[in-house]
Amino acid sequence: MKYCSHCGHPVSLKVPEGDNRERHVCDNCGTVHYQNPRIIAGTLPVFGDRVLLCRRAIEPRLGYWTLPAGFMENGETTEQAAARETFEEADAEVDIHGLYTVFNLPHISQVYLFFRADVIDGRHGPGTESLESRLFEEHEIPWQDLAFPTVARTLQFFFADRRAGEFPVRVEDITAYQRKP
């Protein structure tokens, strides 16, 4: 950040009084520009015994398969964000059952939340950010072509938990070292 979003003057990195880390502070109006982690909300959409994935039409990871998920917008709840992203990316309306996985990605300052959900009437299709959408049985999951570790971990948890018949909330940290190229 170089310029204040309030008044347009240059900002400096400094530790504000009473704070303990450097922030971008406006040299003119004094506004402190805090930067905090971003939340990505999505769903694990299920229809019968199949899981809905979509193939990304945008970078990063263009062409790879993902669960529908995206950045929360201001003014919405996490469940609303997850349902909206599912509609935008997979053209599917869902009934959300509850929080399922939480991933901390401190190296990129992101938090992922996935909710378990049922696809209403099994209807889906590629949204504007997707090349295609498809319902997969467990043995059909394209494990080598998944877009993100958060997606792979959520699917691994899901198939194991489905066999056990319970879906406890799973919280996991994913560090830079676990990322696959």
C-beta closer to Zn ion: residue 15 or 32: 32
Rounded to whole angstroms, the maximal C-alpha distance in the chain is 60
> Using the rule CB under 5 A, which residue among 1, 3, 7, 38 binds Zn ion?
7
- Candidates 31-39, 85-93, 118-126, 155-163 — which segment interacts with Zn ion by CB under 5 A? 31-39
Least distance (Å) from Zn ion to the CB of residue 88?
A: 34
CB of 34 to Zn ion, least distance (A): 14
State yes or no: residue 135 binds Zn ion (CB under 5 A): no
What is d(CA 66, CA 83) in angstroms, rounded to the nearest whole number? Answer: 15
Query: Counting contacts by CB under 5 A, is residue 160 touching Zn ion?
Result: no
Residue 29 touching Zn ion (CB under 5 A)? yes
Query: If binding is defined by CB under 5 A, does position 4 make contact with Zn ion?
Result: yes
How far apart are the C-alpha atoms of 44 and 86, rounded to whole Å?
A: 9
Binding of residue 82 to Zn ion (CB under 5 A): no
How far apart (Å, rounded) are the C-alpha atoms in residues 157 and 97? Answer: 16
Cα 149 from Cα 176, distance rounded (Å): 11
Q: Are strands 38-47 and 110-119 parallel, antiparallel or unpaired?
A: parallel
Calpha distance 119→48 (Å, rounded) = 9
Of 4 and 52, the one with the shorter C-beta distance to Zn ion is 4
Instruction: List residues near Zn ion by CB under 5 A.
Output: 4, 6-7, 26, 28-29, 31
